[in-house]
Amino acid sequence: DQQVKQNSPSLSVQEGRISILNCDYTNSMFDYFLWYKKYPAEGPTFLISISSIKDKNEDGRFTVFLNKSAKHLSLHIVPSQPGDSAVYFCAASPSSGTYKYIFGTGTRLKVLA
Amino acid sequence: SQTIHQWPATLVQPVGSPLSLECTVEGTSNPNLYWYRQAAGRGLQLLFYSVGIGQISSEVPQNLSASRPQDRQFILSSKKLLLSDSGFYLCAWSGGSGEKLFFGSGTQLSVL
């Protein structure tokens, strides 16, 4: 049972435009969410996080939105740059202190110059 | 600053051979440690996590095992590899609050 889902395996966006990556989850106990970026043959690098007490968090070109009622979060990248081309993973964890992060299957973003 | 080391970077092993992947963390104490696997075309699957020496939680029943002999050392092992064990293995750590995972550079394992 996939508790964290990224239903779009790939996304292509023109340079300078907005990239929107989506993530859905099924477990209502999840209340801390992370986004990671991964290049081939490398470990994922942390981008941005959000906890359930917020509905938005911004860091430079990256903004994460959380809709708890819909169990949905999204990552916005504005403006998109060719260097943003990578696989993006969302991850979720409950606040019970188990520190178990469940990752989605990833979305491959391609930013076209 | 904290760093995580994972080796080897690539490994090719025959079916039925043993496996040992090692991960060490520097610059922090009592980290939470994790092993993840990314199989071809799939997401990151949590295999094991540890909140302390000798404390291992297994998430997926399989022929892999993990051990934490020291505070900042995490080892992934198998006695006999299967073809399905091929994948990209990632070690990660988080602090006590568990708010963020930091990943190693990964090991690409090919079982032939």
Using a CB–CB cutoff of 8 Å, tell me whether A100 touches chain B.
yes
Chain B environment of A34 (Cβ under 8 Å): 100-101
Q: Hey, which of A65-69, B45-49, B98-102 has the most confident mean pLDDT? A: A65-69
CA-based nearest distance B80→chain A, Å: 25
Residue A96 has pLDDT above 80, yes or no: no
Residue B2 has pLDDT above 80, yes or no: yes
Indicate the residue of B43, B92, B106 with minimum beta-carbon distance to A105: B43
- pLDDT value of position B59: 83
Tell me the per-residue pLDDT of A53-67, one tens digit each, with 9 for 90 and over. 999 999 999 999 999
* CA-closest candidate to residue A61, choices A92, A25, A15, A24: A15
- pLDDT value of position B61: 66
Chain A environment of B103 (Cβ under 8 Å): 36, 43-45
Residue B99 has pLDDT above 80, yes or no: no
Kindly determine whether residue A99 and residue B88, on different chains, have CB atoms separated by under 8 Å: no
Q: What is the largest CA-CA distance in chain A?
A: 44
CA-based nearest distance B103→chain A, Å: 5
Give the chain B residue whose CA is nearest to the CA of A48: B100
- pLDDT value of position B43: 83
Distance between CA atoms of B57 and A89, rounded to whole angstroms?
23
Torsion-angle region of B79 (φ positive above 0: left; ψ -120 to 50: alpha; else: beta): alpha
Tell me the per-residue pLDDT of B26-42, one tens digit each, with 9 for 90 and over. 999 899 999 999 887 77
Identify the band that residue A95 occupies on the pLDDT scale cut at 50, 70 and 90.
low
Q: Tokens for A67?
A: 């809709």
Identify the band that residue A98 occupies on the pLDDT scale cut at 50, 70 and 90.
low
Identify the band that residue B98 occupies on the pLDDT scale cut at 50, 70 and 90.
low
Q: Interface of chain B against chain A, CB under 8 Å?
A: 6, 32, 34, 36, 42-46, 49, 51, 59, 88, 90, 92, 94, 98-106, 108
User: For residues B45 and B60, is the Cβ–Cβ distance under 8 A?
Assistant: yes
Where do the DSSP E strands lie in chain B? 3-7, 10-13, 19-26, 32-38, 44-52, 55-58, 64-70, 73-78, 87-94, 102-103, 107-111
- Residue listed under structure tokens 């994972």: B6
Chain A environment of B36 (Cβ under 8 Å): 103
- pLDDT value of position B25: 96
User: For residues B86 and B98, is the Cβ–Cβ distance under 8 A?
Assistant: no
Question: How far apart, in Å, are the Cα atoms of A47 and each of A2, A31, A89, B86, B99?
Answer: 22, 17, 10, 28, 13
* CA-closest candidate to residue A31, choices B65, B99, B32, B15: B99
Average pLDDT on A86-93 reads 94
Tell me the per-residue pLDDT of A18-75, one tens digit each, with 9 for 90 and over. 999 999 999 998 989 999 999 988 899 999 999 989 999 999 999 999 999 999 999 9
Tell me the per-residue pLDDT of B88-97, one tens digit each, with 9 for 90 and over. 999 999 887 6
Q: Tokens for A78?
A: 């504005």
Average pLDDT on B79-96 reads 92
CA-based nearest distance A55→chain B, Å: 17
Spatial neighbors of B38 by CB under 8 A, at least 6 apart, are B44, B45, B87, B88, B89, B90
- How many A×B Cβ pairs under 8 Å? 56
